[in-house]
Structure 1
């Protein structure tokens, strides 16, 4: 028997066919989104999008079901009858307004040319003023749930994005009978029935202790926001359970068998914990790609400043699941290659038959720690943890006329590693120890980057022994929902994959990085904790 995990990323979706017995990956297929991330203007015209917007097109997601799933089944050489379950994970918070029957408002003629009718991708950061307002009102009224999010609310989350919609496009807000995470929307497309998962509700929807923020609080944000929860409210389903079965229409679309079990939706980072066998308390998993998410379970709850959420049962039943993260990692390195690679470097890369990333990595790796004389702040996409401020920006200190592209590249790698160390130390200082550290995601293929993280953290780093972590994690959840295993932990033990201590720290480099990290923290606290608001002022002038 097999299961299928479908992973919806930022630029593409992947379907993976996995053997239920032992997690062997039998076949996969990727479908690139036709429209990618919509950041400048809608595909068919319309107004130019302001800064910090990031939208997507629902048809791109349907096309993953239409193309990637049948191709993965074909690649695996399995028949639809052999598939006992399917599960979906998605970037989060990616959220969209729909009618009561699940039709995206962007697909209605009346709203097709209006950006607010489209799904807002996780990295849509234009709702920072709304996020700030939510925090201020929560502090003023003593909302108990605020502590579960480290005292901050992100502009990436459901309430901030919805409040921005109401303030800027009240007509579309009124027409939105549902405000739903993309993971749940895809499950709706597969099963024909609306379903909401506990994970996104808890981490992205402020759902705590059995409820959402009350109407009086919401009215304090905007008089017409008091009824917002009605757009969210639907019975929440526990992770690893069944959300229904594949409908006839979905079977025709995907090539799956009608009646196949569909698991409750989930977040890409959180399902990867099962793939990496990182479910035990104190085992932190960093899913490293365009951004990085840090996921960890614990038996205890503690208030950790700037975490993205603590949700009981948010990753596995019975434990507190913590999330933190960095808004930009791979995106920052891509920016460096895009903007700081001179023609002669590009020509050298072509001669060697390697990418710009590989060339800069080779040159950077040849340097001693601190040899470039630079220090960077990794906030090109703002700061998700521990400052939770997406109006912060990147910084590079120490430039001279001798600074080379590889110097900048290495400084940016180190800055992202320092950002992760800041998160780890914040958890430990708050009483949530990190006993083990595992990495997953696309950045694992850069061995120099991984060794840098290992040296900066000064602890061994395990790696996920699969390059398809979210899809594998989703397939594991599908196996549980279909009844192959009694729980997520048991399925993870049988189907997950981990390579322990793939990297171990070098004592001399770790000691040198301690000195650089102290400088990073000085800049981090000065620009991020009120020493200077220059980054905010520059952003205000830009916009």
Structure 2
């Protein structure tokens, strides 16, 4: 999409689990350039997921360069740079060489499940949740750091000497972009580590002690929108550019979707799905099924918070159909296959490919396919996967309603928001409108907006929220009542007849998927941390 005329742009690096996307926005917040590079996670053992930190770094710079070509811009045209990222993924590197000392352990990784269970058995679950807003689960960063340092005691000694650095992917990229001059993380990413006191928005020494994480390893916690530093020309395309935003991908999507008022909610359908509802400037009360997290922080303003339902595998299940089973060659085929059936014929799929997140928090759950008969076809499998994605979202939305945050409209983004069958089914299952924007790459947009705000490139947040461009709105379907003369009724009643019945059967399927791996011995258990 080469531009007709040059002009300054804000660049947003969206470093995700399976790819890096870069968007370039002009002063009207219009995307004028875009590029994408695949990321290749590795699965060295069942339940383990790793990435090469160097691949993430090289891919980010290369993707920015490609987006500039797409926009007809030069590196010197970049007025500000924002970063959004997969959140809990853990990188540890050498401060002197900037070389990673271990593969990145990805947020989906389950290798520390036994450690989390032991910490809970030792009575730490309630206090950790009260302080951090999170549950004791291998999803988060703390036990990943602990695992790396405990597996290799020499690394722990080096960490205590201040020779190593830890960061989520935002920290890693900013370190490399600035030539090793800046070691920071924003409050949203910090809030995903199990090490941050959520109310104080700073590291908690007692939590560092609990997980055996040396303070010398940690980055400084900063707001999501601020000029932190400038890029090192030797590292980044020969130019100095203000690095002005860092924000977790789901929080970036919340911001870009214009969910700036308490009660507004969005769901990003990516590798996993993440429902966030804005909770305002006060930390919401604890809830056993849902996470409390930092939503964003503008420079000089209080932290805004969110309630989150993290669903660990949704789009990953579609990738499984495509890459592992060969049932489809493109994700878009699932819509046609699902629509070819009048119903699911009792076939259900629970997408617990990385355990179950909210509201169950069961790392021992496994993906489960039920109801197969001789007549089951690939269309049934495709439909079951899509229905499973929608039902997992209903799991979370119902938990939010129980917590006092009813969702009256769901703003949707991410790759699966392109799937019209899924979005309509989602609206039907929830009984609320599902609103999809014109540009579903909202994670990148959110970091661009925050970087532009920090540098004055964009006006105030309210003006940005007004720039959200509508795409398609899905209303819950109405259907004939059937037994009373053909009158129509809204889908809230229809769900009593069909969707609620199917959802109850879905919950039965979830019960069968849970604790499946409970008796499985760890292939490579983590030694006990030092006293």
- Counterpart residue number, 2:193: 204
Question: Which of 510, 513, 519 is the matching residue for 1:524?
Answer: 510
Is it true that 1:325 corresponds to 2:329 in the alignment?
no
TM-score, L = length of structure 2 = 0.85
Query: Partners in 1 of 2:56 and 2:523 — Cα distance?
Result: 36
Query: Partners in 2 of 1:298 and 1:519 — Cα distance?
Result: 32
Query: Partners in 2 of 1:464 and 1:281 — Cα distance?
Result: 20
- Counterpart residue number, 2:140: 157
* Contact 2:366–2:513, Cα closer than 8 Å, also in 1: no
Q: Which has the higher contact order (CA 8 A, sep 6+)?
A: 1
- Counterpart residue number, 1:23: 29
- Counterpart residue number, 1:184: 171
From the superposition, tell whether residues 540 and 118 of structure 1 become closer, same or farther in structure 2 (CA, over 3 Å).
Answer: closer
Secondary structure in 2 matching 1:264: strand
Deviations 1:56-84 (A, max 9, x none): 22221232343221221222123444322
Question: Which of 111, 115, 120 is the matching residue for 1:126?
Answer: 111
Deviations 1:472-514 (A, max 9, x none): 2221111012123465x23532544344634443446644111
From the superposition, tell whether residues 188 and 12 of structure 1 become closer, same or farther in structure 2 (CA, over 3 Å).
Answer: same
From the superposition, tell whether residues 15 and 151 of structure 1 become closer, same or farther in structure 2 (CA, over 3 Å).
Answer: closer
Q: What stretches of structure 2 of length at least 5 have no aligned partner?
A: 1-7, 479-489, 526-531
- Counterpart residue number, 1:285: 266
- Counterpart residue number, 2:87: 92
From the superposition, tell whether residues 174 and 245 of structure 1 become closer, same or farther in structure 2 (CA, over 3 Å).
Answer: same
Which structure features the higher share of strand residues?
2
Query: Partners in 2 of 1:405 and 1:389 — Cα distance?
Result: 28
Query: Partners in 1 of 2:121 and 2:204 — Cα distance?
Result: 14
- Counterpart residue number, 1:239: 224
Query: Partners in 1 of 2:381 and 2:19 — Cα distance?
Result: 29
Is it true that 1:363 corresponds to 2:337 in the alignment?
yes
From the superposition, tell whether residues 2 and 503 of structure 1 become closer, same or farther in structure 2 (CA, over 3 Å).
Answer: farther
Query: Partners in 2 of 1:424 and 1:102 — Cα distance?
Result: 46
Q: How does 1:129-528 map to 2 (within 5 A)?
A: 129-137=114-122, 139=124, 143=127, 145-147=128-130, 152-176=135-159, 177-191=164-178, 192-208=181-197, 209-210=199-200, 211-215=202-206, 219=209, 225=212, 228-232=214-218, 234-250=219-235, 253-254=236-237, 257-258=239-240, 260-299=241-280, 301-311=284-294, 313=296, 317-338=302-323, 340=325, 355=329, 357-370=331-344, 372-485=345-458, 487=460, 489-490=461-462, 492-499=464-471, 501-506=473-478, 507=490, 510-511=495-496, 512-525=498-511, 528=514
Query: Partners in 2 of 1:407 and 1:178 — Cα distance?
Result: 48
From the superposition, tell whether residues 481 and 10 of structure 1 become closer, same or farther in structure 2 (CA, over 3 Å).
Answer: same
Query: Partners in 2 of 1:445 and 1:156 — Cα distance?
Result: 27
Query: Partners in 2 of 1:267 and 1:424 — Cα distance?
Result: 21
- Counterpart residue number, 1:43: none
Give, in angstroms, the shift of residue 169 of structure 1. Answer: 2.3
Secondary structure in 1 matching 2:136: coil
Which structure features the higher share of helix residues?
1
Question: Which of 510, 518, 525 is the matching residue for 1:536?
Answer: 518
* Contact 2:391–2:503, Cα closer than 8 Å, also in 1: yes
Query: Partners in 2 of 1:539 and 1:7 — Cα distance?
Result: 37
Secondary structure in 1 matching 2:117: helix
Give, in angstroms, the shift of residue 11 of structure 1. Answer: 2.6
Figure out how many residues of one structure are paired with residues of the other and give that number.
Answer: 492
- Counterpart residue number, 2:21: 14
- Counterpart residue number, 1:110: none
- Counterpart residue number, 1:2: 9
Which deviates the most, 385-394 or 148-157?
A: 148-157
Q: What stretches of structure 1 of length at least 5 have no aligned partner?
A: 40-48, 107-116, 347-354
Query: Partners in 1 of 2:237 and 2:231 — Cα distance?
Result: 10
Query: Partners in 2 of 1:440 and 1:196 — Cα distance?
Result: 25
